[in-house]
Amino acid sequence: MRVILDTNVLVAASRSRRGASYRILQLIPDRRFQLCLSHPLYLEYLDVLLRPEHQLAALSEQQTRGTIRYLLSQAHLQEIYFHWRPFLPDTKDDMVLELAVAAQAATIVTFNLKHFRGIEIFGIQAMQPRDFLVEIGEIK
């Protein structure tokens, strides 16, 4: 199953090693799901995670970049040839939806479920990290 991780999932993982978001990142790579990335989403990951308020004190900027590059190395890199904009209230969320459609992803993992209302018409579901871990059988 192909999945997209919204940037807020990576932010949550950077803040706590005990949450579902961090557990998802620990699982990569995993035979139960394949992470999908586009160039714009990769750049957003870098932009957001390199902000001082999101960086872990224990990680340098270089280590943060390395972590994001690792995710890229393990992901299916998808080019986007079409746009569905505007479909969602936030244009950055449209970028995530376009990636999901192009990559034929089944799921967008996010904390902002209300921002992704209506994506079911594309055959895509949005779910929070904990629910995703239940979905793949990692937790009950």
Domain hosting residue 47, numbered range: 2-135
Residue 84 belongs to a domain:
yes
| Confidence at residue 54, expressed as pLDDT on a 0 to 100 scale | 80
**Contact between residue 85 and residue 91 where contact means Cβ atoms under 8 Å apart:** yes
Return the closest-CA partner of residue 2 out of 115, 78, 95: 78
Q: What is the rounded CA–CA span in Å between residue 45 and residue 64?
A: 10
Query: Is the N-terminal amide bond of 52 cis, ω within 30° of 0?
Result: no
Residue type at position 106: A
Residue type at position 61: E
| Confidence at residue 40, expressed as pLDDT on a 0 to 100 scale | 94
Average pLDDT for 12-30: 93
Residue 13 belongs to a domain:
yes
CATH number for the domain that contains residue 71: 3.40.50.1010
- Specify which of 8-22, 43-57, 122-136 reaches the highest per-range mean pLDDT: 122-136
Residue type at position 135: E
**Contact between residue 34 and residue 76 where contact means Cβ atoms under 8 Å apart:** yes
Q: How confident is the model at residue 53 (pLDDT cuts 50, 70, 90)?
A: confident
Residue 60: pLDDT above 90?
Answer: no
| Confidence at residue 56, expressed as pLDDT on a 0 to 100 scale | 66
Number of folded domains that form the chain: 1
User: Taking the model in full, what pTM does it have?
Assistant: 0.94
Residue 57: pLDDT above 70?
Answer: no
**Contact between residue 132 and residue 9 where contact means Cβ atoms under 8 Å apart:** no
Q: What is the CA radius of gyration of the chain?
A: 14
| Structure confidence by residue, pLDDT tens digits, 118-131 | 999 999 999 999 99
Return the closest-CA partner of residue 38 out of 11, 71, 85: 71
Q: Which residue has the tokens 């993992």?
A: 109
| Structure confidence by residue, pLDDT tens digits, 65-117 | 999 999 999 999 999 988 767 888 887 899 999 999 999 999 999 999 999 99
Residue 140 belongs to a domain:
no
